[in-house]
Structure 1
Amino acid sequence: MRSLCLLFVTAAALSGCASVRTHQGYLTDPQLVASVQPGVDNRASVERALGRPTFMGQFDNNDWYYVGRELAQVAFGNPKPKEGTMLHVRFDPAGNVATAENLGLTRVVSIHPVGDKTPTLGRNRNFFEDLFGNIGQVGSVGQGGGTADNPTGGSGSN
């Protein structure tokens, strides 16, 4: 009986370590993607075959992107991309397909911000200065007085 309980406890503990796979974005159908041919298709036929793009080019609407990725996550960890697809369809000025490239995770950029705080301009105040810093400042602006941020007390407009 004891070994059976130990087996159940071990199984329950290990089930928390199971990897969960999810999908985000465009679900790629290889046959439909292969059907998009440069010089043959146009915007309307690509939209009928593949649907609306995930996003269009920022500076030019002649670039359509279909992006999808598979993620794996263990318990409470951050999800990590395992597989990814990116189809880039470029149209010529007449609206016909010029190129259709099937890309993977090679073009995905991983951004890692430096530090855990965003630098800002202004005063560096600690918690207690933020909490108690406005005591005695209420009402002083309307009476000709100023604050640390506005020493003249004026509204700033002439």
Structure 2
Amino acid sequence: MSRPVAIAALAAALLATGACTPLTAYSGFQAVEEQPKDVKVGEDTKSTVMGKLGSPSATSTFDNNTWYYMTQVTDRVAFYRPRVVKRDVVAITFAQADEKVAGVKTYTLRDGKVVNYADRETPTRGRELTVLEQLLGNVGRGGMLPRDDQDGAPGNRPGDRR
């Protein structure tokens, strides 16, 4: 085997293995200097937590005294669906009286639960048209544009008879 053929085969092998390298995507809260685990219960307040971690990813729907910081890491290989590798949700609750941290809980991917949703559909009135009926539905019903002698034709004033 000649030298150029060997180099081409080596380059093709490197490209083939490089195509299978997973692409990692980071989304959500990214800690820069401080970590959510560094928040101290009973000492930190809402303002100090905001200064350390920044604004939360979400707040509780029914209680504004619970903040959530969410992080997710996904890997994608070639044409396959992305796979969640790591997910962390940190819930920080504050006391209502003095707005100091009352608790810090960390939930990981193992704590998550799969929720099945109801895939039933609400029925609608009438019947569904096929694609062919939608495309050919106006054939034979007349032109798409109004005639010139009709009121409301483009370029005519209402009540103008020429």
TM-score w.r.t. the length of structure 2 is 0.70
1:125 to 107, 116, 129: 129
> How has the CA–CA distance of structure 1 residues 110 and 77 changed in structure 2, closer, same or farther, with 3 Å as cutoff?
farther
Q: After TM superposition, give the deviation of residue 10 of structure 1 in Å.
A: 1.8
Among the aligned pairs, what percent are the same residue? 23
Inter-partner Cα distance in structure 2 for 1:110 and 1:17 = 29
Alignment of 1:107-146 (within 5 A): 107-109=111-113, 121-122=124-125, 123-135=127-139, 136=141
**Aligned residues, how many?**
138
Aligned to 1:34, what secondary structure does the other structure show?
A: helix
Structure with higher Rg: it is: 2
Matched with 2:105 is: 101
> How has the CA–CA distance of structure 1 residues 19 and 120 changed in structure 2, closer, same or farther, with 3 Å as cutoff?
farther
Matched with 2:51 is: 48
TM-score w.r.t. the length of structure 1 is 0.72
Q: After TM superposition, give the deviation of residue 76 of structure 1 in Å.
A: 3.0
Q: What are the Cα deviations for residues 122-144 of structure 1, in whole angstroms up to 9, with x where unaligned?
A: 422210112222442889xxxxx
Q: After TM superposition, give the deviation of residue 33 of structure 1 in Å.
A: 2.1
Q: What are the Cα deviations for residues 5-57 of structure 1, in whole angstroms up to 9, with x where unaligned?
A: 21211211221111111211112469532331222221111111111001111
Aligned 8 A contact 1:28 1:68 in 2: no
Task: Give structure 1 stretches of 5+ with no counterpart.
Answer: 140-158
Matched with 2:76 is: 73
Alignment of 1:79-98 (within 5 A): 79-94=82-97, 95-98=99-102
Aligned to 1:47, what secondary structure does the other structure show?
A: helix
Q: Which moved more, 1:126-135 or 1:10-19?
A: 126-135
Matched with 2:7 is: 4
1:61 to 54, 57, 64: 64
Q: Which moved more, 1:71-80 or 1:30-39?
A: 30-39
Matched with 2:22 is: 19
Aligned 8 A contact 1:38 1:96 in 2: yes
Aligned 8 A contact 1:42 1:96 in 2: yes
Aligned to 2:36, what secondary structure does the other structure show?
A: helix
Q: What are the Cα deviations for residues 59-118 of structure 1, in whole angstroms up to 9, with x where unaligned?
A: 221110000111111123322110121110011212221111122113445567788xx7
